[in-house]
Structures are given as structure tokens and as C-alpha cells.
Amino acid sequence: MDYDALAAELRTIRENVAGVTDTVIAASDGIPILTDVAKNVEPSHISALAAADLGIARQAAEVVGLGALRQTVVFGSEGYMAVYSISRTALMVVLGDKGLNLGRLLHESRPSIERIGSIMTP
């Protein structure tokens, strides 16, 4: 796997969207693949939670008839956790502080997810 190319994508997201604090790419079953996180964030915990979160959101979208799942976002009083589906086998987590502009994150992350998906597809 081309970790340098993946790292460049994660770096772009953090540099281009004010408020992004941490990023993680993980397998859909919650195993971390590549992480850029602060010391207080445990990558394996975040990856496992994100996998569960995405699974529930995907099921909800399917049951309610919302179409294909794009992202699911946890809103906290101090920040956000956005989880994106990269493919059937991988996901991306973006953590942000309370100033994060979610609209801009969604806009910026769409092309990144496309590219990350191609990098991860051998």
C-alpha cells in the first residue's frame, strides 16, 4: 500500500480545512491503516468506534431509504467526528474542533475520498 500517497491526502485535508484536528484511515472492520492523531487520541479505539458508527449509519440509510451512505457525523459541544465510507472495505475518520466548518469539510473531502479509494485499490 502506498502510505506516502495516503499521508499526502490526509495532510491536504488537515491543511485545507480549518478545525480538522485528527485523521484516520481504517479498514471497515475497525483496524487502523494510517493515522495522524494527537497523543490523547487512541487510533485503535477511534477506528473501532468509527467502524461501528458507519455500520449503524449505513444500515439506517438503507432501512429508511436514504440511498447510499456518504458520511455520518457525531456533533459534540466541543467538536465533531465525521466518518466517511471510502469503499466497502475502508473508512476515513476526521475529528474536528467546535470551529470546524462541516460544509467545507464535506466539499473538500469528496475528491480526497475518491483519490484515497483509488490509491487503496491495487
CB of 37 vs other proteins, minimal distance in Å: 7
Residue at grid coordinates 481504517: 26
CB of 23 vs other proteins, minimal distance in Å: 9
Binding of other proteins by 116 (CB under 8 A): no
Write out the E strands in 1-122: 20-27, 32-36, 71-75, 79-85, 90-97
Tell me the residue type at 1.
M
**DSSP SS3 for 28:** coil
Provide the phi-psi class of 27: left if phi over 0, else alpha when psi is between -120 and 50, else beta.
beta
Tell me the residue type at 64.
V
What mask of x and - would describe binding to other proteins in positions 27 to 66, judged by CB under 8 A? xxxxxxxxxxxxx---x-------x---x-----------
CB 52 within 8 A of CB 28: no
Report the residue from 13, 83, 92, 100 that binds other proteins according to the rule CB under 8 A.
100
Between 14 and 70, name the residue whose CB sits nearer to other proteins: 14
CB of 97 vs other proteins, minimal distance in Å: 5
Cβ neighbours, 10 Å, residue 102: 16
Binding of other proteins by 95 (CB under 8 A): no
Per CB under 8 A, residues contacting other proteins are 1, 3, 7, 10-11, 14-19, 21, 27-39, 43, 51, 55, 87-90, 97-101, 104, 120, 122
